[in-house]
Structure 1
């Protein structure tokens, strides 16, 4: 495999680079739309230009290293010619029955248990756990130390904050955010923010299409 382009020059990008290197693969360059970062280095890799500079390259391989879910979706949609690579740290424990979509990042110490399904461009962050028969739809992000019990469903673009959890059989609606330390004990609707123990909806958000 030729070098992988990492899209996003923030802190999340550092972890993605570390994960790719732990896999024994090479990072070709970092791309970011912030002009002030061009020519700088992220974890020893040069930031060479904007994300759209991938266009015209022959069979580029890349991963989106941006933690904000709707931004990952926008980038993935506009760069349909890219071969999306998943970055899975060797220390992650993933059962052989788990299905993982392209562009997904699973970081050090994460655990994904049998018959779970992980969609495209998902982030399972450091030390997070996903128990049996969970469904994480496209563009989901579960933050470090998040714990999902069995049969939990996270709909498209849902975000689980650091140290949050969900009890068995619960569903978090699309583009909903569960705050840090929140405990999901009942289903949550889409386009909402929920915080606390138990996690309760505090506000409705505009539809993702309006963001």
Structure 2
């Protein structure tokens, strides 16, 4: 497999792959020519036809960049990568290209879209729906029956109470407590969470 991006996020993905001993990382691709290797793995800088034949995962935390890469990418993406310490119900769905970090928990009937990140120690409870390109930061608690729209970022340590709907491309600040529905593109901070501004459209 190929890892796209030689960042700190890539280091964690390397740890996930090594923790499971199920896949081999052939190389990492990054357009920064100053990076020659990462954790002992060679970094290549020119995207070749041979690379396009290999399954890959995008190791970039920015949701918009991750989405934009998929739109011009010809590779098949890997099945979700899950750290061996994560706790997953047998009755869930996780889309291709998503990454589940150490000690994350996903409970019954949750649905996770493609190219999502569930970061270290995050909790996703029963019947949650997380759409494509969402990033759930470390220590987040998403309680039951929550819906999170495409491309939304949930900041570290945030809590979302049951039944809440969060729109697409929103940003939830670190430590926020979300007790009301959140419109598309909102930036919400505090306890209780309040909208302070709106993100630009994701395609701008």
Same fold (TM over 0.5): yes
* Cα distance in 1 between the residues matched to 2:200 and 2:4: 27
Find out whether 1:32 has 2:30 as its counterpart: yes
Query: Cα offset for 1:56?
Result: 4.2
Pick from 109, 115, 136 the counterpart of residue 130 of structure 2.
Answer: 136
Alignment match of 1:45 (pick from 41, 47, 55) = 41
Where does 1:50-89 land on structure 2 (aligned, <5 Å)?
50=46, 53=47, 55-57=49-51, 59-89=53-83
Q: Which runs of 5+ in 2 are unaligned?
A: none
The 4+ residue runs of structure 1 with deviation greater than 4 A are none
Q: Tell me the TM-score normalised to structure 1 length.
A: 0.92
In the alignment, what sits opposite 1:9? 6
User: What CA deviation, in whole Å up to 9, does each residue of 1:112-160 have, x standing for no partner?
Assistant: 0000000000100010000000000000000010110000111000110
Q: What secondary structure, in the 3-state scheme, does the structure 2 residue paired with 1:27 have?
A: coil
Matching residue of 1:193? 187
For the residue of structure 2 that corresponds to 1:67, the secondary structure is: coil
In 1: Cα distance, 2:91 partner to 2:97 partner: 19
| Structure 1: gaps (5+ residues) | none
What is the 5 A alignment of 1:169-208? 169-208=163-202
Query: How far 1:76 moved relative to its partner?
Result: 1.1
User: In structure 1, how many angstroms separate the alpha carbons of the residues matched to 2:184 and 2:64?
Assistant: 14
Q: 1-side partners of 2:183 and 2:191: how far apart? A: 17
* TM-score of the two chains, using structure 2 as the length reference: 0.95
Q: SS of the residue aligned with 1:47? A: strand
